Amino acid sequence: MSLEEFYPMATVSVPSTLPCALSTSSSSSSLVRRTANPHPNVWDYHFVQSLQSPYTDPCYGERVETLVAEIKAMLHGEGGLMITPSAYDTAWVARVSSIDGSARPQFPQTVQWILKNQLKDGSWGTESHFLLSDRLLATLSCVLALLKWKVGDLQVQQGIEFIKSNLEAIKDENDQDSLVTDFNIIFPSLLREAQYLDIELPYNLPYVSLLHTKRQERLANMSREEIHGVPSPLLYSLEGIEDMVDWERIMDVRSQDGSFLSSPASTACVFMHTGDIKCLEFLNNVLANFGTFVPCLYPVDLLERLLIVDNLVQLGIDRHFEKEIKEALDYVHRHWNERGIGWGRLNPIADLEITALGFRLLRLHRYNVSPAVFENFKDSNGHFVCSAAQFNKDVASMLSLYRASQLAFPGENILDEAKSFTSKYLKEALEKRETYSAWNNKQSLSEEIKYALENSWHASVPRVEAKRYCQVYRSDYTYLAKSVYKLPKVNNEKILELAKLDFNIIQAIHQKEMKNVTTWFKNSEFPLLPFGRERPVECFFIVAAGTYEPQYAKCRFLFSKVACLNTVLDDMYDTYGTLDELKLFTEAVRRWDLSLTENLPDYMKLCYKIFYDIVHEVVLEAEKEQGRELLTFFRKGWEEYLMGYYEEAEWLACEYMPSLEEYIRNGIISIGQRILVVSGVLLMEGQILSQEALEQLDYPGRRVLTELNSIITRLADDIHTYKAEKARGELASSIECYMKEHPGSTEEVAVNYMYSLLEPAVKELTWEFLKPEDSTVHIPFQCKKMLMEETRVTMVIFKEGDGFGISKTKIKDYIKDCLIEPLPL
């Protein structure tokens, strides 16, 4: 049963009198009150006030402005490479003879590039990253190109010496994931050519013989139809299987741009055999863009744009590049199709990793994309598959799909299948072997997989996620195809410097605000109350960790005040007040009458004054921001909230166990999320909500954002805290109510049932957050984002128990990461 079916319409509880024999008189001399504060505040006031950040200096802000401008210029194509050179592919293009029939290279600039770019050890390849398979393949390819044109005798000899000295060592990179793409097919083919040219190399090494055997085994499993029938990954390495290619038929699977799977080497090989004009046009186009060399892939327009956007988002600096991100995603969306996408817009083969990345980013930015695209990546058994033969590529693809599956909307069964399949696959991959390439273990997949499995997108802290990504982002990150290559616009020092500076500047702003919150709390009347938890830092963290932008300072400050108020009211209704006292207090709030506080005990008079002052301050500021009367709205919200509390107090006083339906219906009110998050939304600077838009966000009894936020928080709270609450004497929880209605059921069964209600609610929230905007009612996206981010942080707080009430849990570490400890530059 879904939660929507469980309670079709939430109603407001009205204080009533249950048949209760328990005396609740506040005048009883034997009255024993419980405290709600067994876990004291861990954030010392003086410690918070002592925090000092150098990043308040204006020079850091000026540096951020400079970096933003420079990165924007880079993203708009003003200078810089889009992809680094491939010596291997350049050598193949250098082999092409002049089309005028003369004994000269068609592209002499590539020969000159080879002559000028040999490395000090005699090899060719990516200088910054040593991968032997990359160096051997590139070096032998360059040697063969130079020998063809009888130039560079010294370079040829140095290259041969490098191969001789290192060929035997390649056996140490025998792991498929440490080899460039199709090394076992291409390198033996080049060795055979070298042997034909009488180049002196150790051809009789055992591993060289093994390479030839592996190549023959793989070719034996290929059919000519597999090569010529439909586009396949084999098109990327045709130069390695020349003896199997029908050069006429192969034209049937040529890409629209004249290439063979965007590979300059493969395309050059085909051109040398066929003289096809479209192949030549492709090679001319590549060199027109790069001048004297070619990369291992071209174009990479879709992959590059997606990786740039992903990095900007994950580093938490996307707000500086909204225009650039929109342009990039508009471009990807224009070239999106139902079969999936590859690294370039004309790529005839869809790539699961890139398709899943594209789906995730397009959905996160509210583009209309269907998950049905993933049906194309299933085999005959219904299992998701990656077309590449490399284990790491398969794992990376499954990780990408797993992340995409977390953005499921209701009814998207294919994403449920994907999440289930990839979760199992990734767990097994971790158990079977180390999932990283031995040649560069800093680019580890293992840690990424572990982290992803332990931290879902819906239960993560946005600012902590940004900080972590700053720590794992590598400006020198390399990718692996037939060459080791870099995407300089995706990974570079300027982006990393900006991300770290931006994080530290935002943290410095938040530290100042946190000082203001703690000072206000210390000087307020909250500490005079004889009960309750002091959690001003935690209250600030809940909002600052998600709604972090500098312009929302007022929202964060007043949200923190409301959260502190909610905490104290929760403690008063749950643990300290008697039922008679709580009835009077609730009635005073319902009637919004200060005169009714005369009959309240002193502590409640003080509590009511605090309540009255904070609510009126929030109302005043919200009315200024929104430009209309809001007291009526807030009064109704607070009345409903406290009546929900009172009903729970009645249950506790009378030892009454409600039905599960009754408990949840009231629980989504008494959790207090609605009044808290709506207060924050209405205080966001520049975010104007019409009455119609407000009702789209917040309408009691209707499954809109605030209602879903409340459902999720209530269920997450119960799932992870019911044992502790039961030990404190609180009888009612969704778990206990379920077990009462299902005699003989276990706690595990009850918890699983709550998860069965929670997961659909999370999907509905995701839909409400990311659905295309209703053209008739404008809801500022920042308002929806504030609600979503608050939900994510709240789910983290209850992930391992009551992280709010017991603030020495992992939440303390999150707060330190987010608000206390800066990133080293």
Centre a 10 Å sphere on the Cβ of residue 253 and count the other Cβ atoms it contains: 18
- CB burial of 720-758 (b: ≥16 within 10 Å; e: otherwise) equals bbbeebeeeebbbbbbbbbbbeeeeeeeeebbebbeebb
Statement: 87-290 belongs to CATH 1.50.10.160 = yes
Q: Residues 179, 484: contact at Cβ < 8 Å?
A: no
Q: Does 802 or 187 have the greater pLDDT score?
A: 187
Please give the single-letter amino acid code of residue 28: S
Helix axes 352-364, 322-334, angle to 10 degrees: 130
Burial label, 388 (beta-carbon count in 10 A; 0-12, 13-18, 19+): middle
141: nearest Cα among 102, 181, 86, 178? 86
* Model pLDDT for residues 305-316, shown as the tens digit of each residue: 999 999 999 999
Q: Residues 692, 38: contact at Cβ < 8 Å?
A: no
The Cα 357–Cα 338 span in angstroms is: 15
Query: What is the DSSP pairing of strand 484-485 with strand 479-480?
Result: antiparallel
CA of 710: how far to CAs of 478, 692, 783, in Å?
Answer: 44, 21, 16
SS3 content of the chain, % helix, strand, coil (to 5): 65, 0, 35
- Average pLDDT taken over every residue of the chain: 89
| H/E element, 485 | strand 484-485
78-82, 269-273, 734-738, range with the lowest pLDDT: 78-82
Q: Predicted confidence band at 229 (pLDDT cuts at 50, 70, 90)?
A: confident
User: How many Å from the N-terminal Cα to the C-terminal Cα in the chain?
Assistant: 52
Q: What secondary structure letter does DSSP report for 733?
A: -
Q: Predicted confidence band at 485 (pLDDT cuts at 50, 70, 90)?
A: very high
Residues 6+ apart with CB under 8 A from 507: 53, 55, 818, 819, 822
Query: What pLDDT, on the 0 to 100 scale, is given for residue 29?
Result: 37
Place of tokens 């720590």: 471
Task: Give yes or no for residue 419 having a pLDDT over 60.
Answer: yes
Task: Give yes or no for residue 437 having a pLDDT over 80.
Answer: no
* Model pLDDT for residues 183-211, shown as the tens digit of each residue: 999 999 999 999 999 999 999 999 899 99
The Cα 393–Cα 480 span in angstroms is: 10
Q: Residues 110, 93: contact at Cβ < 8 Å?
A: yes
174-178, 370-374, 682-686, 775-779, range with the lowest pLDDT: 174-178
Task: Give yes or no for residue 387 having a pLDDT over 70.
Answer: no
Mean per-residue pLDDT, 485-491: 95
Q: What secondary structure letter does DSSP report for 202?
A: -
DSSP one-letter string for 217-259: HHHHT--HHHHHTS--GGGGGGGG-GGG--TTGGGGG--TTS-
Residue 396 has which token pair? 């990376």
Place of tokens 């938890």: 533
Query: What pLDDT, on the 0 to 100 scale, is given for residue 623?
Result: 97
The Cα 159–Cα 122 span in angstroms is: 5
Q: Residues 130, 173: contact at Cβ < 8 Å?
A: no
Centre a 10 Å sphere on the Cβ of residue 288 and count the other Cβ atoms it contains: 8
Query: What pLDDT, on the 0 to 100 scale, is given for residue 807?
Result: 56
Mean per-residue pLDDT, 453-468: 95
| H/E element, 507 | helix 493-523
Residue 391 CB-half CA count within 13 A: 19
* Model pLDDT for residues 673-727, shown as the tens digit of each residue: 999 999 999 999 999 999 888 888 887 767 889 999 999 999 999 998 877 777 6
229: nearest Cα among 251, 203, 262, 213? 251
* Model pLDDT for residues 158-183, shown as the tens digit of each residue: 999 999 999 988 877 655 557 899 99
- Residue count of the chain: 825
Report which listed range, 2-16, 78-92, 286-300, is most confident. Answer: 286-300
The Cα 340–Cα 231 span in angstroms is: 14
Q: Predicted confidence band at 16 (pLDDT cuts at 50, 70, 90)?
A: low
630: nearest Cα among 644, 646, 619? 619
Which overall architecture, per CATH, does domain 524-820 show? Orthogonal Bundle (1.10)
378: nearest Cα among 340, 346, 433? 340
Task: Give yes or no for residue 96 having a pLDDT over 80.
Answer: yes
**Residue spans in the chain of domains classed CATH 1.10.600.10:** 524-820
Query: Given phi > 0 = left and psi -120 to 50 = alpha, else beta, which region is 382?
Result: left
Residue 666 has which token pair? 């009231």
Q: Residues 641, 675: contact at Cβ < 8 Å?
A: yes
**Residue spans in the chain of domains classed CATH 1.50.10.130:** 298-491
The Cα 145–Cα 197 span in angstroms is: 12
Mean per-residue pLDDT, 377-401: 79
Residue 47 CB-half CA count within 13 A: 9
Query: What pLDDT, on the 0 to 100 scale, is given for residue 26?
Result: 39
User: What CATH topology corresponds to 298-491?
Assistant: Glycosyltransferase (1.50.10)
Residue 561 has which token pair? 């005040």
Q: Predicted confidence band at 34 (pLDDT cuts at 50, 70, 90)?
A: low
The Cα 611–Cα 602 span in angstroms is: 14
Q: Does 439 or 271 have the greater pLDDT score?
A: 271
| H/E element, 479 | strand 479-480
Query: What pLDDT, on the 0 to 100 scale, is given for residue 728?
Result: 66
Task: Give yes or no for residue 391 having a pLDDT over 70.
Answer: no
Task: Give yes or no for residue 477 having a pLDDT over 50.
Answer: yes
Query: What pLDDT, on the 0 to 100 scale, is given for residue 11?
Result: 36
Peptide bond into 299 cis (omega under 30): yes
CA of 681: how far to CAs of 678, 766, 819, in Å?
Answer: 5, 18, 22
Query: What pLDDT, on the 0 to 100 scale, is given for residue 539?
Result: 96
Query: What pLDDT, on the 0 to 100 scale, is given for residue 662?
Result: 95
3-state secondary structure labels for all residues of 322-369: HHHHHHHHHHHHHCCCCCCCCCCCCCCCCCHHHHHHHHHHHHHCCCCC
Q: Does 730 or 247 have the greater pLDDT score?
A: 247
Q: Does 123 or 7 have the greater pLDDT score?
A: 123
Burial label, 705 (beta-carbon count in 10 A; 0-12, 13-18, 19+): buried
Place of tokens 């290279």: 105
Task: Give yes or no for residue 436 having a pLDDT over 70.
Answer: no
Q: Predicted confidence band at 18 (pLDDT cuts at 50, 70, 90)?
A: low
Residues 6+ apart with CB under 8 A from 108: none
Query: What pLDDT, on the 0 to 100 scale, is given for residue 746?
Result: 92
Query: What pLDDT, on the 0 to 100 scale, is given for residue 592?
Result: 85
Q: Residues 317, 501: contact at Cβ < 8 Å?
A: no
Mean per-residue pLDDT, 735-760: 93
Mean per-residue pLDDT, 498-503: 98
